[in-house]
Each structure stands twice: as C-alpha cells, then as structure tokens.
Amino acid sequence: MKNSIIALALAGSLASALATINAPVASAADSKEKCYGVALKGQNDCAAGKHDCAGKSTMSYDKASFKLVPTGTCTSMKTPKGHGSLMPA
C-alpha cells in the first residue's frame, strides 16, 4: 500500500512537470500594448516627455505618457480628454 501511494505521487509529479514543459509560454509583453493618454498622474508605466521614470508623470491623461493595457483595448478607452492612442502626441 505504501509503495503504491509513493508511486502514484511520483507519477503525478512527473505528469505535472511534463505538462508545464510542453505548455506554451506567454510573455506579459505579448498581451499588452502601450496606450498613450490614459495614465493617471503618477501611474504611467515608463519614461516619457519631461520625466525619466515610471510613476513620475505630473498630470493625468498626458498624451506623451503611456500605460500598458491589454492588447486591443487602448483605442476604446475613454477619458475626460478623449480616447486612448497607440501613438504619443
């Protein structure tokens, strides 16, 4: 009984390991795109314009600052200053 439990546990571990090796690896960058004009003050994702670091934007909805958003959603995002853009202004 003891040996069969150990064998079953090892088989399960091996199956899990093989499943993760064969699973496609999706990078976070693959499913995100830069969306300009939608970041709130201090919540931008990278350097742009007058600042040199993520989180340093001084105004909300700055058309030169971007936020990473799920691919395909940027231009449908509406802000008080208009829709998001895939290109900086």
pLDDT digits (tens, 9 = 90+) for 1-49: 566 666 555 555 555 655 556 545 555 557 999 999 999 999 988 766 6
Q: How many CA atoms lie within 13 A of 32 on its CB side?
A: 11
Furthest C-alpha separation in the chain: 70
Q: What is the pTM of this model?
A: 0.61
pLDDT at 56: 82
pLDDT at 70: 96
**Domain extents for the chain?**
27-83
